[in-house]
Amino acid sequence: MDDLNSGVKHEKIYFYAALLLGIALVKGLFQYLTRWVLIGISREIEFDLRNDLFRKLESLSYDY
């Protein structure tokens, strides 16, 4: 805020804009990696649950 009163140079504005852009890119990368990991884990859990259910259904008698 002090820079706004005394005059801002273009270099400082470009620096802060680049800093904000860099932070946004890093945040986006981490969000992508987090979703990639979570979706991968959820698919493995889904696969295991489906196989457990199928194994249980196979062990039941035909009358059931």
5 has a pLDDT exceeding 90? no
Residue 52 CB-density burial (10 A; 0-12 exposed, 13-18 middle, 19+ buried): exposed
The whole-number average pLDDT for the span 29-41 is: 97
Reported as a single tens digit per residue, the pLDDT across 13-26 is 899 899 999 999 99
Would you say 27 and 19 are in contact if contact means Cβ atoms under 8 Å apart? no
